[in-house]
Amino acid sequence: MNTVRVAALQMRSGMEVEGNVAAFEALVREAAGKGAVYVQSPEMTGILVRDRQTLFERIRPAEENPLVRRARALARELSLFLHVGSTAIPLDGGKVANRAFLFGPDGALIATYDKIHMFDVDLDKGESWRESATYAPGGETMVAALPFARLGLSVCYDLRFPQLFRAQALAGAEVLTVPAAFTRQTGEAHWHVLTRARAIENGAWLIAAAQGGRHEDGRETYGHSLIVDPWGRVVAEAGHDEPAVIIADIAPGAVAEARAKIPNLKNARDFAVSEAAYGQERAAS
């Protein structure tokens, strides 16, 4: 079975864009040196900062963005598919896009994707996030056709919405991607379960590059970047929260095998939802 070597970069991005770009480049070069032809970085590769004013002072439009420019050049120089998991891009109207970029080996931009689901949550120990206060949600998912597989794009909190990945799988996606900055609290509880579940229920490979450790703005992210096969087996993992490169040789043909064994994409049926309550007689059907 033909294989392709892929890599996920684990980072600890901070508040200084230049430093993040330098760290990104070093990890990309390491992955390329190990033979990877597809490389994915985490969510918010270019800057990770909670303060809104600081964020707006330091981010730039895509055409001027140092990370986007460097990623394009690296993809061309190293002749690989380079997937910037996401970075902050300013929009009109005072909001920001949490945007992924996928470049080809010629440096051409293949696709972008804006994170759809906003991380608006209230966790234990007083940890609270309101992503929608700063970021504007995207409105469409993306499946990119690469020479070795069709790639479904997502970002972080999207992982909790299985309908997104099911739509990608039905559109032919064989590799699902989940660049992330999972908090330590949610990562310890749910990261492995959710990534493996998305791979299993869609019979697809899943690549998830993650942020890890304590960041300059005080947040803690879980790390544990993963590559999961269509049967739900973890084939590569950074078993910690330190910066790292993980590598795996994935076989796109394994997708067809998994989907043939358990054809749940074909077996799914539409259904209605009814209600019943104690004390109310239900009509016989």
Question: What are the residue numbers of the active site?
Answer: 43, 115, 156
Mutual orientation of helices 66-78 and 17-33 as an angle, nearest 10°? 20
Q: Are 198 and 59 in contact (CB under 8 A)?
A: no
Tracing tokens 């590059």 back to the chain, one arrives at: 209
Name the residue among 118, 204, 208 with its Cα closest to residue 167.
Answer: 204
| C-alpha 204, offset from chain centre | 14
Q: State how far the Cα of 166 lies from the Cα of 256, in Å rounded to an integer.
A: 15
Helix (H) or strand (E) holding 152: strand 150-153
Burial (CB count <10 Å: 0-12, 13-18, 19+), residue 33: exposed
The total of other beta-carbon atoms located within 10 Å of residue 200's CB is 19
Q: Are 65 and 47 in contact (CB under 8 A)?
A: no
Tracing tokens 């997502």 back to the chain, one arrives at: 154
